[in-house]
Amino acid sequence: MSILVIAEHDNSSLKSATLNVVAAAQQIGGDVTVLVAGADCGAAAEQASQVVGVNKVVVADNAVYANQLAENVSVLVAELGKDYTHILAPSTSNGKNALPRAAALLDVAQISDIITVESADTFKRPIYAGNVVATVQSTDAIKVITVRGTAFDPAAAEGGSATVETVANATDAGTSKFVSEELAKSDRPELTSAGIVISGGRGMQNGENFELLYTVADKLGAAVGASRAAVDAGFVPNDMQVGQTGKIVAPDLYVAVGISGAIQHLAGMKDSKVIVAINKDEDAPIFQVADYGLVADLFDALPELSAAL
Amino acid sequence: MTHKLEIYNGICMKVIVAVKRVVDYNVKVRPKSDGSGVDLANVKMAINPFCEIAVEEAVRLKEKGVASEVIVVSMGEKSCQEQIRTALALGADRGILVETADELQPLSIAKLLKAVVDKEQPELLILGKQSIDGDNNQTGQMVAALTGMPQGTFANEVTITDGKAVVSREIDGGLQSVELSLPAVVTTDLRLNEPRYASLPNIMKAKRKPLEVVSPADLGVEVVASVKTLSVEPPAERQAGVKVASVAELVEKLKTEAKVI
């Protein structure tokens, strides 16, 4: 077995999602190679070489990979990937964007968002917004897979000593161009890897009221998420959305405030270790999955909570 | 009419939209007790919500005079005609059903779509970013790869100018904007638009719009399912916990009982 892991990084540093994928790769077993494709990505490659369980790091450092355009990255992944039995990427927006394209170039299927490794060709993955777990087996020669990060404990970021190799492959498909990027800036932890997440829904009523959540989040060192209703209403940006179509989180503590608990939201957070719901509607479906439920007006409860912490 | 559009806009695009028939998003499905599959008997079916957004976007492009024709394609059993008719009622011009009883996985769907693209030569192909049953999020990317088209996935804004598509994409940290040469593939995110409802007169009119039925063999595509579903099961059940009476009690329990803060 030989496994190629596509690193998630921003050129200067390796993203933690990569560590979860390396852990999944180790469960499959075999040599693990990490591909770092980017521009001026030496620092990210250096970090990848120190991850425990990585045998080799392959670096494709070229301007054509600067913004992870799928048209270019997929060609590289398909070229290098044909010599491996497995190609793995995290279920991040980059992984979801480029990997199916690479799979099609290799004429093989992709298995999306696996949550367990049963064997080298058999995996479990959630379908129907997490209401069903399917056990699937691939008969393809190359297994192309995206990995749900929250389902695998991360590999240790330091202590490894992989060899680093450079490849010259560089294809510019010439059909797409990066224009601009608007990234939300926040001092709070990243949503998908935070130990505590506090989320607000429609019940927050407006964007200003999210300050109440931020105050509590800062006391807890928590990330702040949102339901689709809160995003659609324009309270907060869409990258904060937790759910089937947003981010999947599984923190130690998830606090849902003013969120009713639709199927699509539960899909994104029901694997959290402890769930707390604060809602004034005692019949809200969120209480059916909450370990601790508080039936109260969030505008009373949040300031109280903040004072108590 | 075509010429008029060309004069006004410089381009006159044909747009193909792919739609999937899936379980209605409000239905909570359950695996069959023998684990052989999901129980879909007597379950309400609908257009996949992301596909609905794709149809809406294509129809808006037509209303702006950017698109000249909107073709809606669906694949699967005969019943998918219902979803094609719905899309026609929303404003698409004609439909194509690739009819088959075989299980269709994303790679096969992408190959079938490529065959339709080769035949119809659209400037734009719009799909939903994922279907809410399989949750794969693959088909758009795969058909883009097979046709060699660039892709604008998870789109929350699409602007067509000077023979190019500028697509604003929802990414993990925020938004990213890319410029794609046409023809291109776009997959829709939830915030791209708000789909309209079909009016009764439009539903009646849709019944008379052309709907072509072809088979995978007609398109020269062999349907292969290389991923086998061995079994399905319900996820680990979460039990409802306790209700607490006050914030103080909540904080106390989180500290001493759950030990998470």
Kindly list the structural domains of chain A, giving each domain's residue range(s) and its CATH number in brackets, ordered by start. Answer: 2-166 (3.40.50.620), 191-308 (3.40.50.1220)
Residues 190-209 of A with CB under 8 A from B: 192, 196
Taking every pair of Cα atoms in chain A, the longest distance, rounded to a whole number of angstroms, is 61
Residue of A nearest to B239 (CA): A289
Rounded Cα distance between A153 and A26, Å, is 11
Q: Which residues of A touch B174 (CB under 8 A)?
A: 181-184, 237, 239
Q: Which residues of B touch A189 (CB under 8 A)?
A: none
Cβ contact, residue pair B243, A294, below 8 Å: yes
Is there a contact between B171 and A179 (Cβ–Cβ < 8 Å)? Answer: no
Rounded Cα distance between A50 and A56, Å, is 10
Rounded Cα distance between B60 and B91, Å, is 9
Tell me what the mean pLDDT of segment A132-147 comes to: 98
Centroid of chain to Cα B35? 27
- Per-residue pLDDT 10s for chain B (261 aa) are 344 444 344 557 999 999 999 999 999 899 999 999 999 999 999 999 999 999 999 999 999 999 999 999 999 999 999 999 999 999 999 999 999 999 999 999 999 999 999 999 999 999 999 999 999 999 999 999 999 999 999 999 999 988 899 999 999 999 999 999 999 999 999 999 999 999 999 999 999 999 999 999 999 999 999 999 999 999 998 888 999 999 999 999 999 999 998
Per-residue confidence (pLDDT) for residue B129, from 0 to 100: 98
Q: Which amino acid is at A169?
A: N
* Residue A231 in tokens: 């995003």
Domains identified in chain B, total number: 1
* Domain range for B183: 13-228
Neighbours of B34 (CB within 10 A): 8
Rounded Cα distance between A37 and A54, Å, is 16
Rounded Cα distance between B92 and B67, Å, is 11
Q: Which residues of B touch A108 (CB under 8 A)?
A: 107, 226
B31 part of a folded domain: yes
B238 part of a folded domain: no
Rounded Cα distance between A171 and A79, Å, is 10
Per-residue confidence (pLDDT) for residue B15, from 0 to 100: 98
B1 part of a folded domain: no
Q: Which residues of B touch A301 (CB under 8 A)?
A: 247
Angle at A218 between CA A213 and CA A221, to 5 degrees: 115
B247 part of a folded domain: no
Is there a contact between A130 and B28 (Cβ–Cβ < 8 Å)? Answer: no
Is there a contact between A294 and A249 (Cβ–Cβ < 8 Å)? Answer: no
Cβ contact, residue pair B174, A97, below 8 Å: no
Q: What distance in Å separates residue A192's CA from the closest CA in chain B?
A: 10
Q: What distance in Å separates residue B102's CA from the closest CA in chain A?
A: 16
Residue from the list A192, A231, A276 with its beta carbon closest to the beta carbon of B250: A276
Rounded Cα distance between B83 and B182, Å, is 27
B233 part of a folded domain: no
* Residue A287 in tokens: 């209480």
Rounded Cα distance between B125 and B119, Å, is 13
B151 part of a folded domain: yes
* pTM listed for this prediction: 0.95
* Residue A22 in tokens: 């390396």
Using the Cβ of A233 and the Cβ atoms of chain B, whether some distance falls under 8 Å is answered with no
Instruction: Give the CATH number for residue B57.
Output: 3.40.50.620
Neighbours of A111 (CB within 10 A): 26
Residues 56-95 of B with CB under 8 A from A: none
* Residue A11 in tokens: 């050129």
Cβ contact, residue pair B172, A94, below 8 Å: yes
DSSP state of B78: G
Centroid of chain to Cα A195? 14
Could you read off the pLDDT of A10-59 as tens digits, one per residue?
A: 999 999 999 999 999 999 999 999 999 999 999 999 999 999 999 999 99
Band (A185; pLDDT cuts 50, 70, 90): confident
User: Can you state the angle between helices B247-256 and A298-308, rounded to 10 degrees?
Assistant: 50
User: Can you state the angle between helices A70-81 and A93-105, rounded to 10 degrees?
Assistant: 50
Cβ contact, residue pair A253, B226, below 8 Å: no
B254 part of a folded domain: no
B115 part of a folded domain: yes
* Residue A9 in tokens: 């990084």
Cβ contact, residue pair A245, B234, below 8 Å: no
Rounded Cα distance between A162 and A54, Å, is 6
Closest CA to A153 of A6, A22, A1: A22
State yes or no: A246 annotated in a binding site: no
